[in-house]
Amino acid sequence: MSYPKLGSIVKIVGFKHNGMMHREWERARVLLVSDQYIVVANKRTKVTESNGRTWYTREPAVSVFFPDRWYNVIGMLRADGWYYYCNIASPYAYEDGAIKYIDYDLDVKIVPNMQYRILDQSEYQTHKELMRYSLGLDELLNSQMQELLTMIHRRKGPFAKSFMADWYQTYTDKYEEQDRHYYQQITNYYFNKKHKKVKNNADF
């Protein structure tokens, strides 16, 4: 299995079961590489959707990808704490400078007090029929969902109290200054977009 280099910049690309690109994050900094999982961080990075639409993330994020578990975890830092977004997804593969995985529709959204909600169950049922998920795959994904929920309840792994904060601190200490030029470009994009909107509104 190939691994990204510690400290390198990678893309993150999610696909669907049929091989179509689902979503791509332009940039993430690799903070940890191990046999158990890898950790990456980014903020204000460009995201491209399957329909070509692009947008930019607004908050810092720390993501954890596993080589042997069928989910990944994203922690997003907001004013009131860490929010989590978990994707039921294939184990990651690293190739061509990108962390790649297959997204299997089901998501878990978690707020700072660790209350959670399972999302996109109807989408999962639709894609299961449309893309012909096998019975074995369906059973595996549901089993992995239960494993993920148990981890959330017990606050283990990425959900441990200081996990995300510690890795984000590692990012700010080691790499934030190196990435400052990229972030400034995104900040300028937001400023120009806001200024253009105000100008256009004034025209009316």
23, 29, 78, 155: which is the annotated catalytic residue?
23
Rg (CA), the chain: 18
44 is catalytic: no
- Candidates 100, 101, 120; CA nearest to 109 is 120
Burial of 105 (0-12, 13-18, 19+ CB in 10 A): buried
SS3 5: coil
Q: Residue 121 to residues 20, 69, 180: CA-CA distances in angstroms?
A: 20, 20, 39
Separation CA 106–CA 24 (nearest Å) = 18
**Which are the catalytic amino acids?**
23
